[in-house]
A and B are shown apart, each in its own frame.
Chain A
Amino acid sequence: MGNLTHVTINFKTSHLIFPTIIACVLGVLLVAIVIRDRKRIAASGAYWRDTWGAMDKPRFLGALALTLVYFSLMVPVGNIWPNTGLGFLLCSIPYVLATGILFMHERTPRAILPLLIVALVGPTFVWWLFTYPLFLTLP
C-alpha cells in the first residue's frame, strides 16, 4: 500500500508535474461539458449565426480594427522621436476621436465638438502626467 501512495519528485522534471495534472483535469472537464451539453453544442451554429446577426458589426469590428491599428502604430511612430512618448500622444488623439465618432449615434458637428476637445485634451494631459510628474516613458 505504501508503494502505491509513495511519490518521488524528480527536480529536473518538476516543472511538468502540476501542468500535466491540470491539463488532465481540464481534459476531463471538457469531456464532461461536451457530454452534458452535446445538444447545445450541436446547435451552436445557429447560436453563432444569431450572435453575428444581432451584432452591431460596424461598431464592434470597427472598434477592434481601430484598436489593432492603434497598437500597431504606437511603437513605429514613437521610434521617430525616441523616449518622448510622442508615439502614444500622436496615435491616441486620432484613436480617441475615431472611436468616439464610431460609437456616436448622431454625428453632427455640434456633437463632435466636445469629443474633439476630449480627444485633444485627454491624451495630452495623460502624456504630460506620465512623462513629467510620474517619469514613466510612454511609447
Chain B
Amino acid sequence: MKTLFALVLGLLCNPASALVFDQVQPSENTLTFAYKQMGVLLDGKFKRYNAQVSFDPAKLGSAQARIEIELASIDTGSTEADEEVVGKKWFNAKTYPTASFVASSIKALGGNRYEASGKLSIKGRTLDVIAPVSFQQSGARGVFDGSFILKRLDYAIGEGEWADVTTVANEIQIRFHFIVNAAPSKK
C-alpha cells in the first residue's frame, strides 16, 4: 500500500518525467493547409505522411520529430488543382516526391506552449522554419497542435505564371494536429 501511494504521488507530482511520447497515432492526425486564391480562403490537406516523434516534456534536449510527407497525397479541394500541383511548376513530385521536416530543437515558452525549430525540405530546397506548438497531455495521450506560415516562393512552389502571388497568395498556413501517446511500458 505504501509503495502504491508513493507511486501515485510520484506520478501526480511529476507525471512528465516518467513518460516519453513517441507512439504516433496516424489515424487521428491531420496535416492541413490554408491559403488565399483571388481573395478566397481555401484549405486542403495531405493524406499520407509518416511522422516520428519522441517527446518528453522534462527532457526537451532529447526531443525528436521527423515528418515525411508524400506530396502526391495532397488534397487541395479540387481534382483539377490536385493534378496541377504535383506538376513541375509546383511540387515537381516526380523528381521530389516527399517533403520533410526534421526538428532540431524544441524550446519551452511556458505553460503548454513550445517552439519547434527545424529544417523543412521541399523541392530540393532546405530552409529553417520555426513553429509554435502546443502540447496537451491527458494521461498517456499527448496532443500536439501547431501552425506556421510557409512562403511558397521560398521553395519555388508555383513557378512561371504561378509565381504571381496576386492570384495564389505566397503565404500558405500549414497546420498540424498530431496525437502522440506515451508507451504504457515506459510508465
Tell me if chain B binds chain A.
no
Q: What residues make up the interface of A, taking CB atoms closer than 8 Å to B?
A: none
